Homo-oligomer: A and B are copies of this chain.
Amino acid sequence: MYLHRVMENVRHTGTAIEETLRVVGDRWSILLVRAGLRGIRRFDDFCDDLGIARPVLTERLRRLVKFGIFERVKYQDKPVRYEYRLTEAGLALSPALVALVRWSEEYSQESSSDVTLVHAPCGTELEQAFWCRSCQSTFGPNAVKGVASQLDS
């Protein structure tokens, strides 16, 4: 393994996705985004809906706010109260969420899926694919290859 390490000059720590997963890669964050997409905004509602422990919810929302996925908005003055709304960046996580839901439907053994995702105009159950612009064709994961981006080293 040492030889392999020497030959591999590309270090894979410190990449963008690792940074992202340090924010979003836990048991709750994606579920919080999903709840946000379903219209949930208030602390106690997140708490009841997910069954997350309150101290953990506090910490998680703070982190998601810090990284721009939720924003903390005052919605009432008299007793000052805040709620949490998805930002544009938070909404932009929906493709990832959809992909995970799709995977869950197909591969999760623990059944009882809640919803099936369909193509809205026609109601057909959707499939997922990668699209190659230059080939003008869809393809599956077997035709995916990783290429190191050229930036410094």
Contacts and interface: CB of A to CB of B under 8 A. Distances in A.
Interface of A: 1, 4-5, 9-22, 24-28, 30-31, 34-35, 37-38, 42, 44-45, 48-51, 67-68, 89, 91-124, 126-135, 138-139, 141-153
A147 to B, nearest CB: 5
B45 A141 contact: no
Q: Which of A50, A95, A151 has the most CB of B within 10 A?
A: A95
Nearest to A44: B1
A1 B46 CA distance: 11
A34 to B, nearest CB: 7
Contacts of A17: 30-31, 34, 97, 100-101, 104, 108, 114
Given A92-B103, A106-B92, A132 B141 contact: no
